[in-house]
Amino acid sequence: MAIELPELPYGLADLAPHISQETLEFHYGKHHASYVANLNKMIDGTEDAEASLEQIITRSAGDVTRDGLFNNAAQIWNHTFYWNSMKPAGGGRPSGEVGEAINSAFGSYEAFRSSFTEAAMTQFGSGWAWLVDDGFGLKIMKTSNADLPMVHSAQALLTIDVWEHAYYIDFRNARPGYVSTFMDHLVNWDHVGAHLG
């Protein structure tokens, strides 16, 4: 079965003015789509042709002879999770179960935001910052390149893409402005809640 490019959970223009339609046309329509095309070429006619995306990721993780397979599969997963981590008119302080879980784990929303922002800002080069549940509670994690929580026995709850192509069109090299905008206007706390517990 071919791996398909998942549909965005909103229209290309729906995150504007915070993330432009042009960014999504390139980031989703070119970058994400190319990972899907590359992976399908790699798995065609192999034992992975009938595997799920998650199976391909876990089978290839840590195997240097299958780095290309892992990188493309993980980037498909990461990007799909990232699109769902955002929504129009999102962001701000979470309420309900998510707010309580964050307050319990970090002491306050402000402390969580500071830790998450620091992870996003200090991830050198390309990568991701995550809110995860590692089985012992909520934690902040950062990963390089295509690496992702599932291969570290952690459940992803929220992510921000800090590869430059995620923000360069709208923010140029100003990663702090992108991270702040993500927190203030884009975070989909309903998506976080759906993955809690």
What pLDDT score does 114 carry? 98
Query: Sheet containing 138-144: which strands, arranged edge to edge?
Result: 138-144, 127-133, 155-161
Give yes or no for residue 96 having a pLDDT over 80: yes
- At 1 the pLDDT is 74
CATH 1.10.287.990 spans which residues of the chain? Answer: 21-84
Strand 138-144 to 127-133 pairing:
antiparallel
Question: In Å, what is the CA distance from 111 to each residue of 105, 106, 145, 154, 179?
Answer: 10, 6, 26, 21, 15
User: In percent, how much of the chain has pLDDT > 70?
Assistant: 100
Q: What's the mean per-residue pLDDT of the chain?
A: 97
With a pLDDT cut of 90, the percent of the chain lying above it is 99
pLDDT at 136: 96
Is pLDDT at 78 greater than 90 in this prediction?
A: yes
CA 127 to each of CA 29, 90, 105, 197: distance values in angstroms, whole numbers, following the listed order: 19, 22, 24, 25
Per-residue confidence (pLDDT) for residue 197, from 0 to 100: 74
Please provide the distance, in angstroms rounded to a whole number, between the alpha carbons at the two ends of the chain: 31
For the segment 57-80, the average pLDDT, to the nearest whole number, is 97
The pLDDT score that the predictor gives to residue 91 is: 98
Mean pLDDT of 101-123: 98
Neighbours of 74 (CB within 10 A): 25
Comparing C-alpha atoms, which of 155, 101, 112, 111 is closest to residue 133? 155
What distances in angstroms separate CA 93 from CA 19, 44, 113, one per listed residue? 20, 45, 9
Mean pLDDT in residue range 15-22: 98
Q: Is the pLDDT of residue 145 over 80?
A: yes
**160-189 residue pLDDT tens:** 999 999 999 999 999 999 999 999 999 999
Residue 103 pLDDT greater than 90, yes or no? yes
Q: Which of 147, 179, 166 lies closest to 31, judged by CA?
A: 166
> Residues 77-81: what's their mean pLDDT?
98
pLDDT for 32: 98
Q: Which of 115, 118, 119, 138 is nearest to 128 (CA)?
A: 119
**Location of each CATH 3.55.40.20 domain in the chain:** 96-195
The topology (CATH level 3) of 21-84 is Helix Hairpins (1.10.287)
Paired tokens of 30: 């070119």
| Model-wide pTM > 0.75 | yes
Q: Which CATH superfamily is domain 96-195 in?
A: Iron/manganese superoxide dismutase, C-terminal domain (3.55.40.20)
CA 143 to chain centre: 10
What does the pLDDT average to over 139-155? 98
Cβ pair 188, 86 in contact under 8 A: yes
Q: Pull the structure tokens for residue 20.
A: 């432009």
- CB atoms under 10 Å from CB of 40, counted, come to 16
Determine the pLDDT at residue 74. Answer: 98
Supply the pLDDT for residue 64.
96
Which pLDDT value is given to residue 163? 97
Closest alpha carbon to 160 in 132, 194, 133, 120: 120
Q: Which residue type does 194 have? A: A
